[in-house]
Structure 1
Amino acid sequence: MDLVEVIPERLHMLRFPIGQAYLWRDGADLTLIDAGHAGGAAAIEGAIRSLGLRPEQLQRIVLTHCHRDHVGAAGELAARWGAEVLAHRLDAPVIRGDLPVPEPVLLEWERPLYAHGLTVPQAPPTRVDRELTDGEVLPFGGGAVIVHAPGHTAGSIGVHLPSHGVLFTGDCIAGVGQVMLGVFNVDRAEAITTFGRLAALSPSVACFGHGDPLTVDTTAVLHAAAEAAGASGT
């Protein structure tokens, strides 16, 4: 796992072979946005310690959606350090193991990518302590606004920190090679609409579930990519 500084003293990306998570710091309090794959807890704890911080400072784990490369280590981290686990109410039953993971509607070119993604260990059933809804404000990052962002999954969310101009998009938007609509969507048309809603937030930093964060000309790039996705339907 690689640890990448995005905003000094505030935000780091934890990059796994497939997917990534983000660590936000408010003084002594830590928030994890997504949690990597099952078995990744030790690497996440090591990354926290390498920053001169302690895993017990982890207050909450916010899951952007129910897929295995984002949920996998959340349960182990929460059990060991007492962090609260939060997810949208529509994906929470999947994360808990009460409902199956929804199958995406794949385009032909997505099929080999999807098969590769399934090599990530399956996430164990994971507790969700708090179910989120659109517009809720969480106590980190100067007030973190939950943005319901359906399309990738029914309960996907974005996490917007208006005070810092930061947006975590989950897999609604991808930044692999270029900024584009995320892949493996359960409802592509809805995902395109969501892309436009997230771009309209006009962040200065966009943190994707896959691909490097966007920190330069972010608003313009997001708007152009959302327009292109809407025009092409892809």
Structure 2
Amino acid sequence: MDLVEVIPDRLHTLRFPIGQAYLWRDGADLTLIDAGHAGSADAIEGAIRSLGLLPERLERIVVTHCHGDHFGSAGELSARWGAPVLAHALDAPVIRGDRPVPEPVLLDWELPLWEHAMTVPQAPATPVEQELTDGEVLPFGGGAVVVHAPGHTPGSIGIHLPAHGVLFTGDCIAGVGQVILGVFNVDRARAVESMLRLAALAPSVACFGHGDPLTSDTAAILLAAAETAAAAQPSPTPAG
């Protein structure tokens, strides 16, 4: 796992072989956005300690959606340090193991990527202490706003920190080489709508579930990418 600074004394990326998580810092208090795949807890703890921070100050683990590369180690970290796991109400039953992971509708070019993604260790059932709703404000980052962004999964969310101009997009948007609509969506049309909604927030820093964070010309690049994704959607067939 690689640890990469995004904003000094505020934000780091925890980069795994597949996917990544983010560590947000309010002084000594810590928030983890996603938690990597199962088996990552030791690496995450080590990264926190390497920054001179205490994992005991982990206040919460916010899961952007119910895929194993995003919540796989959340339960172990929660058990170690008592940090509650938060997720949207529509994805929480999947994370708890009460429902299966929703099947994506794969495009042909996504098939080899999906096979690679399936090499991630299976995530264990994980307790979710708090179910989130759209517009809810969480007590970190000067007020972190939950943005329901369905399409990748039904309960996918973004987390917006207006006070800092930071947006965590989960897998709704990806930054792999270029900014694009995320892959493996259960409902591509809704995912595009969510991408447009997230882009409209016009952040100065965008943190993706896959790909390097965007820190320059962010608002314009996000909007252009969202408009490109929307233009690529097939037009609805007229009734009658």
* TMscore range, shorter length: over 0.9
Query: Residue type of the partner of 1:24?
Result: W
Q: What does residue 8 of structure 1 align with?
A: 8
CA distance in 1, matches of 2:49, 2:218: 31
Return the offset for 1:100. 0.1
3-state DSSP class of the match of 1:125?
coil
3-state DSSP class of the match of 2:103?
coil
Gaps of 5+ in 2: 235-240
What CA deviation, in whole Å up to 9, does each residue of 1:97-151 have, x standing for no partner? 0000000000000011001001000100000000000000000000000000000
Report % sequence identity: 80
Return the offset for 1:219. 0.3
Superposed, 1:40-59 pairs within 5 Å as 40-59=40-59
What CA deviation, in whole Å up to 9, does each residue of 1:7-55 have, x standing for no partner? 0000000000000000000011000000000000000000000000011
Superposed, 1:20-99 pairs within 5 Å as 20-99=20-99
CA distance in 1, matches of 2:17, 2:233: 29
Query: Residue type of the partner of 2:89?
Result: R
CA distance in 1, matches of 2:8, 2:25: 10
Superposed, 1:104-143 pairs within 5 Å as 104-143=104-143
Superposed, 1:171-210 pairs within 5 Å as 171-210=171-210
CA distance in 2, matches of 1:49, 1:201: 33
Query: Residue type of the partner of 2:7?
Result: I
**Displaced runs of 4 or more, over 6 A:** none
May I ask how many residue pairs the two structures share in their alignment? 234
Q: What does residue 169 of structure 2 align with?
A: 169
Return the offset for 1:158. 0.2
Gaps of 5+ in 1: none
CA distance in 2, matches of 1:46, 1:172: 29
Return the offset for 1:175. 0.1
